[in-house]
Amino acid sequence: MAKVTAPTYSSGGKSVPANDVAATPEERAIALKFLQTLASQVSQGTVDLPCFPDVVIRISQALADPNSSSERVVTMVGAEPRLAARVLQTANSAAFNSSGKPLADLRSAITRLGHQMVQGTAMSYAMQHMKNESSLRAIAKPLSDLWNRSIAVACICKLIAQRTKVPPDEAFLTGLIHGIGKLYIMARVVSGAGESPGDQLWIELISGWQASIGKAVLQSWGFAEEMCDAVGDQGDLDRKSKHGAKLVDVLIASVLLADALPTPERGTIDTFGLNAFSSIGVTPADCAALLTAAAAQIRQVHEALA
């Protein structure tokens, strides 16, 4: 289990303490105490995500277990009818059914999707469940925004991974869960602190702490160590990879490219000095083409996981 430490922001190569935000000393003290308590809990393996379906965690742990049979996964998914329906829907969607052949049984759907996408579909199911919970109504829109962004990052991750030796399905799932720390903090804030996660103080603090907390959450759920490390290091723009592109490079570049999706200047993305882009071999000239290709895939995946 990772030890969650106080994060820093990285800007232009200069690190700034993550608690250096505009707020009164009292507000900052309350927020930081809450986040430090949260970090201490997840560091010790205590993960309590309000309204998050247990079946999603059990499926992740089963898929991570090399001794787990495919029949066990089919049984787990089948025990939750709404999740099973979502898996079938996803497997038959345009994004994941290139053959056009419809499937009617759960076992075939799971085989078609593969383990990584089954986990991704389970996460989609969990997000929808959380958005419908009255106790989390205050963050329903932030949850939707986070999920939409996660889909965008996942699609870009897959496209970039196809240019490297990083497995595309692993990259896709990493992009889909890269914001799990933000999800965890927002849900705990609403259920425990009684503060608004839309407040500027919370927004800045969450973005500082979410990566390390997300890594600890994923480790407790049994995700692959490389995926956990990528999520934990997603904000480290100064890191350098040895011996070719790594999963974390794909994620860092994808997060930055996702920021450019809504902007009309897609062809003018400045990648200079960003080591992740050098590692994956993506130049500024490549970015516009990547984002154009990603836009079409994002629409399809969004429909599949809606």
Residue at which a domain ends, from 84, 103, 132: 132
Instruction: Tell me, yes or no, whether 196 and 259 share the same domain.
Output: yes
In a domain, 12, yes or no: no
Instruction: Tell me, yes or no, whether 229 and 101 share the same domain.
Output: no
Q: Measuring CA to CA, which residue among 161, 170, 150 is closest to residue 279?
A: 161
* Domain coverage including residue 100: 52-132
pLDDT at residue number 23: 64
Instruction: Tell me, yes or no, whether 293 and 220 share the same domain.
Output: yes
Instruction: Tell me, yes or no, whether 128 and 32 share the same domain.
Output: no
Domain count for the chain, please give it: 2
Instruction: Tell me, yes or no, whether 29 and 64 share the same domain.
Output: no
pLDDT at residue number 256: 92
In a domain, 9, yes or no: no
> Which amino acid is it at 76?
M
In a domain, 95, yes or no: yes
Instruction: Tell me, yes or no, whether 261 and 127 share the same domain.
Output: no
Residue at which a domain ends, from 70, 103, 132: 132
Instruction: Tell me, yes or no, whether 125 and 187 share the same domain.
Output: no
Element (H, E) at 258: helix 247-260
pLDDT at residue number 62: 87
pLDDT at residue number 2: 60
Provide the terminal-to-terminal Cα distance of the chain, rounded to the nearest Å: 32
In a domain, 226, yes or no: yes
Instruction: Tell me, yes or no, whether 165 and 271 share the same domain.
Output: yes
Q: Measuring CA to CA, which residue among 231, 244, 300, 299 is closest to residue 275?
A: 244
Kindly list the averaged pLDDT for each block of 10 residues, start to end, along the chain of length 306: 56 41 71 85 87 90 82 92 94 91 93 92 92 87 92 96 94 96 89 60 77 92 92 89 88 93 68 88 88 91 85
Instruction: Tell me, yes or no, whether 229 and 123 share the same domain.
Output: no
In a domain, 45, yes or no: no
In a domain, 44, yes or no: no
pLDDT at residue number 74: 92
Instruction: Tell me, yes or no, whether 188 and 253 share the same domain.
Output: yes
pLDDT at residue number 5: 61
Rounded to whole angstroms, the Cα distance separating 151 from 176 reads: 6
pLDDT at residue number 273: 81
Residue at which a domain ends, from 99, 132, 165: 132
In a domain, 58, yes or no: yes
What DSSP character marks residue 238? T
Instruction: Tell me, yes or no, whether 206 and 239 share the same domain.
Output: yes
Rounded to whole angstroms, the Cα distance separating 151 from 122 reads: 14
- CATH number, domain containing residue 281: 1.10.3210.10
Query: The pTM is what?
Result: 0.88
Instruction: Tell me, yes or no, whether 84 and 165 share the same domain.
Output: no
In a domain, 18, yes or no: no
